[in-house]
Structure 1
């Protein structure tokens, strides 16, 4: 991947930059609210996400990088429990996707995926985390997140 293609891939992520309110719906619990900030770091080469998570989720930090082999992205996740995970990430046509199906820095007791869809004005992302206990199991809805720009 050349520098022009890398910069074009990074530019697509500009829509995430800024402050967001995060509303979460966990099964059996009342909705909760947290905050999230996306900002460029290291001369704009990486996108940093800092989240004060809605309870009971842990606070977290993620770093988005362009994958030089595919032109897609990697999403490096770290949280207050000490969990470290690596997700593949795609970002196209108003849809943000994360996927983790293989062990990485931590064991893989379940597969995870996130699908977030942007509103037409770009100020809301409605997303769902799904999980699957093993390769043969169906995906089950885990958590619903709604990101709203500004806080």
Structure 2
């Protein structure tokens, strides 16, 4: 990965190196069996952005592409999400001590009809991420489990 402007941004991007590679993804949708999918993380544009591409062979689950950038304002990240349905979203992202979190609580390119949150914890060896997506109807509603999502490093 090439150097980027500012040591804080470089440090933030370096923390994401643990994601780089190919992963099998396993979604646990309540009441449904889903085949495993695939997710690949790779650096682009001289290491200034991390791109994630995911494919799941389930009609209800869209293929996705996300671009992750360091956010110098928050010491976190911004994930720009795009999917095969034409959905575009922006998530605030944190990645600290093996805990990966994505949160969408404000309108962006689309109205905010519900809040979303993903929280994933890395295993000690860094080869598994166990997590879950949650939703909430509005800012005062509690988070509700949507589905579990597990990543297993394949390369």
TM range (shorter): over 0.9
What's 2:93 paired with? Answer: 89
1:53 Cα deviation from its structure 2 partner? 2.4
Provide the TM-score with structure 1 as the length reference. 0.96
Contact 2:8–2:72 (CA under 8 A) maintained in structure 1: no
Q: 3-state SS of the aligned residue for 2:36?
A: strand
Flag structure 2 segments of 5+ consecutive residues without an equivalent.
none
Residue 142 of structure 2 is aligned to residue 138 of structure 1: yes
Number of equivalent positions: 150
1:32 Cα deviation from its structure 2 partner? 2.6
Contact 2:134–2:147 (CA under 8 A) maintained in structure 1: yes
Between the aligned partners of 1:142 and 1:100, the Cα distance in structure 2 is 14
What's 2:126 paired with? Answer: 122
What's 1:48 paired with? Answer: 51
Contact 1:48–1:63 (CA under 8 A) maintained in structure 2: yes
Between the aligned partners of 1:34 and 1:77, the Cα distance in structure 2 is 17
Residue 7 of structure 2 is aligned to residue 4 of structure 1: yes
Between the aligned partners of 2:153 and 2:121, the Cα distance in structure 1 is 14
Q: 1:78-121 CA distances to partner (integer Å, 9 max, x unpaired)?
A: 00000000000000011000000011001111000000000000
Contact 2:118–2:133 (CA under 8 A) maintained in structure 1: yes
What's 2:105 paired with? Answer: 101
Between the aligned partners of 1:71 and 1:53, the Cα distance in structure 2 is 31
What's 1:148 paired with? Answer: 152
Provide the TM-score with structure 2 as the length reference. 0.93
Q: 1:26-54 CA distances to partner (integer Å, 9 max, x unpaired)?
A: 11111331000000000000000000025
